Amino acid sequence: MSSTKKGLDLQWQILIAIIAGITFGIVINMNLGANVTEGPIYAIKTFFAYGGDIFIRLLKMLIVPLVFASIYMAIAKIGSPQELGKLGGKTVAYYFLTTALAVLIGLIVVNLINPGQGIDRTALEALNITTEVPEAVSNQGVGERSAVLIIIDTFVNMIPKNPIESFAKGDILQIIFFAVFLGVVSNLVGRRSESMTAVIESLDSMMQKGVMLIMKIAPYAIFMLVAAIFMDLGFAALSALGKYAGTVILGLTIHAVIILPILVMVLGRYSPIKLAKAVAPALLTAWSTASSAATLPITMANLKNRAGVDGKVSNFVLPLGATINMDGTALYESVAVIFIAQLLGIDLTLGQQAIIFITASLAAVGAAAIPGAGLVTMGIVLTAVGLPLEGIGLILAIDRILDQFRTSINVWGDTTAAVVIGRSENAIDDSISPENPLQTNQITNG
Ligand code: ASP
């Protein structure tokens, strides 16, 4: 991850891989159309999809042990439960603030642009855009559960009934809770926890090294992932829904390049450009994989090694953020729901828009950090304002590409939190930068 090594820095390698993947995918798509299901092109696409899957699996393989070990070490370093409570409180408050700001930007942009008005419905119908409710949405029983209950559930369910089960299921929030609990207890028992801490400390170091190894294949894997996606992309749907996609992307851009950087500068007293450079590999990986969870190991490594945020803050703030802080998803949901209403010719009152503001913020907290999760929890927002779930079918065709953009913003939001909270805890080493990263032999724990 170092730029001191010879050759191109990792983020440039990944960027080149993305551009090459897009170009390759589009050339095939233009010449042969999307969804080729046989012949050599199909074989290549399948091969590429496997390549991308291997990379994502390798990253996911590290998440559970990495999150557990790094949070335990972070808490063991923090020491007192009071200090920990303060850190947790600040983090959650910052997450709620940025999510609310994101939804607000989404609402403003969509109300100014009105992407759903004057759209050619026959063009959409000609594309056979489905109006079937995706199974995951109807399975959620969104009709019966209010957004508030869903959010309370999210927090109560953080407490694992059986930590081994949480590990097996890969439930990040439960693993965070257990690791925090164990870290606090380790401080209370003092010397008698030393051998356990030593074991977890080595696990943490090994996982961090593991992330570095896996990153070596990132550019190749990301090329394959992106090429496979673009080989299949429905460009006709993209142009029919172009105004809607443009509105989502505009909102995300305003949030990412104006709102969050202001917070980084004012609250974090940190250069947003330096931060963006430091976490560029994570942002690009998020764009390619559409999964904040899969990206998490890279985000954690970037923050510590290239942005200089001490692990005692970033190792706690980032896993929590990956699961509960989704600025991009919240913004996207507010735009999408209003777009659907406009498309269906339904006028929303100011009161309904206020409900969208609240439910979109909450639904984003409940969304899993995996591809397509935002689309599923959008059912909550639609139900809350009495819109038909079928509306989701209208935007399904271009969801993957928008997912890529919103996931990058989700991860960007988490990294800004790490800097803002890190500064308030005096836990940033300003001498570390992408040009002067923490050297691998310095990487120990915390
Ligand atoms: N894919 C997003 C993420 O992992 C969640 C979403 O679907 O909006 O952050």
Tell the residue nearest (CA) to atom 6 of ligand 1: 374
Residue 245 located in a structural domain: yes
Statement: residue 441 has pLDDT above 60 = no
What is the per-residue pLDDT for 384? 85
Judged against a pLDDT cut of 50, whether residue 319 lies above it is answered with yes
Atom of ligand 1 nearest to the CA of 322: 9
Return the structure tokens found at 190.
């003092």
Q: What's the CA gap between 91 and 389, in Å, rounded? A: 33
Q: What is the pLDDT of residues 25-42, one digit of tens each?
A: 988 888 877 677 778 888
Ligand 1 centroid to Cα of residue 178, in Å, is 24
The answer as to whether 429 is a domain residue is: no
* Residue-level pLDDT at 114: 92
Residue 24 lies in a domain: yes
pLDDT at 186 over 70: yes
Percent of the chain whose predicted confidence (pLDDT) is above 70? 90
Span from the CA of 330 to the centroid of ligand 1 (angstroms): 10
- Residue 52 makes CB contacts below 8 A (sequence gap 6+) with 221, 222, 224, 225, 228, 288, 289
Range of the domain at 170: 3-424
Distance 375 CA to ligand 1 centre (A): 9
Q: Is the residue at 441 inside a domain? A: no
41 contacts 274 by C-beta, under 8 angstroms:
no
Task: Judge whether residue 259 has pLDDT over 90.
Answer: yes
**Spacing, Cα 426 to ligand 1 middle (Å):** 31
Using CA atoms in the order 373, 374, 375, 380, what is the torsion angle rounded to 10 degrees? 110
Q: What is the pLDDT of residues 264-315, one digit of tens each?
A: 999 999 999 999 999 999 999 999 999 999 999 999 999 999 999 999 899 9
pLDDT of 162 above 70: yes
The rounded Å distance from CA 86 to ligand 1 centre is 28
User: Residue 367 to residues 7, 282, 322: CA-CA distances in angstroms?
Assistant: 39, 20, 10
Q: For the beta carbon of residue 326, count every other beta carbon within 10 angstroms.
A: 35
Q: Is 148 exposed, middle or buried (0-12, 13-18, 19+ CB in 10 A)?
A: exposed
The answer to whether residue 438 is domain-embedded is no
Structural domain count of the chain: 1
pLDDT (0 to 100) of residue 424: 95
* pLDDT higher than 90, residue 4: no
Considering the domain boundaries, does residue 309 fall inside one? yes
Pocket test for ligand 1, best of 137, 255, 292, 325 (most atoms within 8 A of CB): 292
* CA 369 to ligand 1 center in whole angstroms: 5
Within a domain: 439: no
Q: How many angstroms is it from 287 CA to the middle of ligand 1?
A: 10
Query: pLDDT at position 125, please?
Result: 63
Ligand 1 residue neighbourhood (C-beta within 6 Å): 290-292, 326, 329, 367, 369-374, 403, 406-407, 410
Q: CA angle, corner 28, sides to 25 and 34, nearest 5?
A: 85
Instruction: For residue 295, give the ligand 1 atom closest to its CA.
Output: 4
Atom of ligand 1 lying closest to residue 372 CA: 7
Q: Which two tokens stand for residue 271?
A: 């250069």
208 CA to centre of ligand 1 in angstroms: 24
CA dihedral 239, 245, 250, 251 (to 10 degrees): 170
Q: Choose one of 403, 405, 414 to mutate for the ligand 1 pocket test, by most ligand atoms within 8 angstroms of C-beta.
A: 403
For residue 328, give the ligand 1 atom closest to its CA: 8
- The closest alpha carbon to 106, from 230, 250, 268, 1, belongs to 250
**Long-range Cβ pairs for the range 36-41 (8 Å, 24+):** 36/231, 41/231
Residue predicted with more confidence, 247 or 142: 247
Ligand 1 atom nearest to 293, measured from its CA? 4
Residue with the smallest CA separation from ligand 1 atom 8 is 374
CATH code for the domain in which residue 414 is found: 1.10.3860.10
CA separation for the pair 313, 375 (Å, rounded): 31
pLDDT, tens only, 57-94: 999 999 999 999 998 998 887 767 788 888 989 999 99
Model pLDDT for residues 115-161, shown as the tens digit of each residue: 988 776 666 666 655 555 556 555 554 444 566 776 777 788 889 99
| Shortest-distance atom of ligand 1 to CA 410 | 9
Classify residue 442: in a domain, yes or no: no
Residue 291 CA, closest ligand 1 atom number: 4
The preferred substitution site among 332, 370, 398 for testing ligand 1, maximizing ligand atoms within 8 Å of CB, is 370
Q: Which two tokens stand for residue 31?
A: 């010449």
Band (pLDDT 50/70/90 cuts) for residue 1 is very low
Q: Which atom of ligand 1 is nearest to the CA of 370?
A: 4
pLDDT value for 445: 43
Report how far Cα 264 is from the mean position of its chain's Cα atoms: 18
pLDDT value for 444: 46
